[in-house]
Amino acid sequence: MLPFPDTPDAAPATNIDFPGVSPGQIDSVKALGSRTGLHSGHLSAQPDDQGSAFHPAHAFSLGERVTVTAALRSPAAGTASGAEGSRRLRWSFAIARPANLQQTSAGAVDDDLGLARSPARASAPRTHSFVTEPRFHVPWISMHGKDTDTASGDIFLDTQNSGQPAALLLNPRGELRWYEPSNAAHRGPSIFNTRVQRYKHHRVITYWQGLVVPPGVGHGQGHILNSSYKTIHTVRAGDGYEKQGIDLHEFTLGHEGKEATAFVQIWSPVQRNLTSVGGPANGTVLDWIIQEIDIATNKVIWEWHALGHVPISASYQRYVPGQPYDYFHLNSIQQLPDGRILISARHTWAVYSIEKKSGRIAWELGGKHSSFSMSPGSAFRWQHDATLHGHGILTVFDDGAAPQSRALEIHLANHRANLVHAYTHKPPLLALSQGSTQLLRNRDVFVGWGSRSYFSEYAASGRQIFSGSMRSPIQSYRAYRSVWVGKPLQPPAIAMRKSKAAGRDRIYMSWNGATRVVKWHIEARAASTGRFTSIATVRWTSFETSTRVLATKGPYFRVQALAANGRALPHGTSATVRAP
């Protein structure tokens, strides 16, 4: 049942859910608020027959306790709800006492993201633009070493502190292929966590977009883009958290039955007794909430609150008087094949496996109450991006392993955590925040170094194959590699500039997001109408390719994007421009 029994801070506008029980199996639902009394409402079916939701007609009162009594039509319905053979369900939960939201931004320290705090190298420009795309302000990328991994695909990053938040895609040589700024002007909404995921058996690009506020958290929404870079779904928080929005740290796709779902996280400032960490009895703490949302309908089908399952005393975060206490700081979510949910909490130095049906912690790795004995080198602090793979292999980015951060590969078996390998950067890097560790299909490991602006790949032996970087203080929350084929629907961009050499103007061509272009075919004609004739074919050299052309061949020009087989790509013919 949801909210889970004894949840301490459900939203006043929460629904009451019965996963696994259809509306036809429920006789009645009574929701009794300790202050507001009996609440009427109605039942509806959850998507793909994944249970029922009771929608109270009115919101509950702040701080009250709600007791739910449900009469079921069969013992089987009780069993499906976790009450073996029962035809009656009864449980209770509390409604949150929200803290002053102004307190969450006044004087708080951005201890996770470190935005605009990294030392800047002021000598060289950090971004550049293009003749064909003058509104872009793209970070300069420096590559060191040769990428010999030909099968793992392209590199996906986001940009912070560049003046223009964006999602971007690089080819294995570090050359730009796709750039998506949050808007045309500087200082638009932030973009985090750009990567390729699966949605209904298709590869899609996903990222979070929204507003970042102290202490390194966000109000925003998740975006899902198809291979033509069209937003096909926007995922938002629900069940009382619509205005709050989802947090920036995770946006991962999953499934419930046949339905595609998204796991998101929400932070919520609530009143709580903080005496266990040296704070006041009526302090402000950030609870961290997971919602699983049906993508097609944007309905919440599962919800979990950290405060209902992990005590505040489990935190290693220091309490600072006058600031909201971020005791947990959830930063990754993974749906496991066995039905459990794996999460990483930065401020408890722990990774948790959650029983989805009960919400209970199945096991804890690291932290103050680890279910595993930690072998030398396997412990981590202030970590990010925990992922469990097959055969008991877990990867995680260890931010706090001074004097340098590490990407860890750990083997879990028989309640023991054994370090398989620790991957470090050359030269050494200490990331104060963010970061990611991706185990690739060929067993290489791809690492994003978070606040340190680097990304790199390693062989299983630990040998660093290559490294790339952006100029400080620009950084990327995570870094990923994935195979991707981009098929933009908009035509290529074209521009011409007059040359100092008489009659030899320069033509510029680009096609944002097109990953299959290998050559450009240049055509010209003498009149504004009529047939084009071919004048040259040039190799794709970078995001924007340029070459000189004789103006006398025109003065009207256009370009076509060619695939490896020499054929023009769909939608790959530019508009016509006239030589200056």
User: Could you report the per-residue pLDDT of 489-538, keeping only the tens digit for each?
Assistant: 999 999 999 887 777 899 999 999 999 999 999 999 999 888 999 999 99
Q: Are residues 155 and 249 in the same domain?
A: yes
| 10, part of any domain | no
Same-domain check for residues 80 and 152:
no
Residue 456 and residue 354 share a domain: yes
Amino acid 108: pLDDT: 34
- pLDDT computed for residue 113 by the predictor: 65
Q: Which among 456, 482, 508 is the end of a domain?
A: 482
Q: Which residues of 519-543 are buried (b: 16+ CB within 10 A; e: fewer)?
A: ebbbbbbeeeeeebeebbebebeeb
pLDDT at res. 257:
82
Candidates 164, 173, 117; CA nearest to 139 is 164
pLDDT at 110: 41
Distance between CA atoms of residues 534 and 558, nearest Å: 10
Work out the pLDDT band at 173, boundaries 50, 70, 90: very high
Q: What pLDDT band is residue 186 in, cutting at 50, 70 and 90?
A: low
- Relative to beta strand 436-439, strand 416-423 is unpaired
Judge if 228 and 345 occupy the same domain.
yes
557 HSE (CA, 13 A, CB side)? 29
Q: Which residue has the higher pLDDT, 79 or 156?
A: 156
Same domain, 230 and 112: yes
**Counting Cβ atoms within 10 Å, is residue 389 exposed (0-12), middle (13-18) or buried (19+)?**
exposed
**Whether residues 319 and 424 fall in one domain:** yes
Residue 350, pLDDT above cutoff 50: yes
Pairing of strands 373-374, 416-423: parallel
Sort strands 37-39 and 41-45 into parallel, antiparallel or unpaired. unpaired
What mean pLDDT value characterizes the chain? 93
323: containing domain: 102-482
Q: Quote the pLDDT of residue 525.
A: 95
The answer on 136 and 63 residing in a single domain is no
What pTM was computed for the model?
A: 0.94
| Percent of the chain predicted with pLDDT > 70 | 95
| Residue 117: pLDDT over 50 | no
**The domain spanning residue 398 has which CATH number?**
2.120.10.30
Q: Report CA dihedral (38, 245, 351, 462) to the nearest 10 degrees.
A: 160
For 451-495, write each residue's pLDDT tens digit.
Answer: 999 999 999 999 999 999 999 999 999 999 999 999 999 999 999
With cut-offs at 50, 70 and 90, classify the pLDDT of residue 80. Answer: confident
For residue 317, give Cα distances in angstroms to 308, 348, 439: 19, 7, 29
Q: Tell me what pLDDT residue 567 has.
A: 96
Across 269-293, average pLDDT: 95
Give the whole-angstrom CA distance, residue 120 versus residue 111. 18
Which tokens hold the place of 550?
Answer: 């004789």
Asked if residue 107 and residue 90 are part of one domain, the reply reads no
Tally: H helices and E strands in the chain: 1, 43
| pLDDT confidence of residue 49 | 80
Question: Is residue 470 in a domain?
Answer: yes
Stretch 419-427: mean pLDDT: 97
* 180 is a domain residue: yes
Is 269 part of a structural domain of the chain? yes
End-of-domain residue from the set 97, 131, 150: 97
> Cis ω on the peptide bond leading into residue 580 (within 30° of 0)?
no
Residue 453 shares a structural domain with residue 539: no
pLDDT of residue 552: 83
Q: Which residues does 17 contact at the CB level (< 8 Å), separation at least 6? A: 1, 2, 46, 51, 52, 53, 54, 300, 301, 302, 303
Identify residue 151 by its one-letter amino acid code: A
State whether 238 and 370 are in the same domain: yes
* Distance (Å) of CA 261 to CA 71, 257, 332: 29, 10, 16
- CATH code of 497's domain: 2.60.40.10
118 shares a domain with 90? no
Compute and round to an integer the Cα radius of gyration of the chain.
Answer: 27
Tokens 């976790």 -> residue: 82
**Over residues 37-50, mean pLDDT:** 92
H helix or E strand, kind and range, residue 80: helix 75-80
Helix (H, G, I), strand (E, B) or coil at 408: strand
pLDDT of residue 404: 95
Classify residue 5: in a domain, yes or no: no
Is 11 within a domain?
Answer: no
Q: What are the pLDDT digits (tens) for 552-571?
A: 888 999 999 999 999 999 99
Whether residue 504 sits in one domain with residue 428: no
Check residue 112 and give its pLDDT.
63
Number of domains in the chain: 3
pLDDT at 114 over 60: no
Helix (H) / strand (E) element for 232: namely: strand 231-235
Query: Rounded CA gap, 94 and 169, in Å?
Result: 45
Q: Per the domain annotation, does 312 fall within a domain?
A: yes
C-alpha angle with apex 207: 486 to 460, nearest 5 degrees? 80
Domain boundary among 482, 517, 546: 482
CA 469/CA 129 separation, integer angstroms: 18
* Structure-token pair, residue 349: 């130095």
What is the C-alpha separation between 9 and 477, in angstroms, rounded? 29
pLDDT of residue 103: 40
- Judged by DSSP in three states, 307 sits in helix
Average pLDDT over residues 405-425: 97
pLDDT digits (tens, 9 = 90+) for 6-28: 999 999 999 999 998 999 999 99
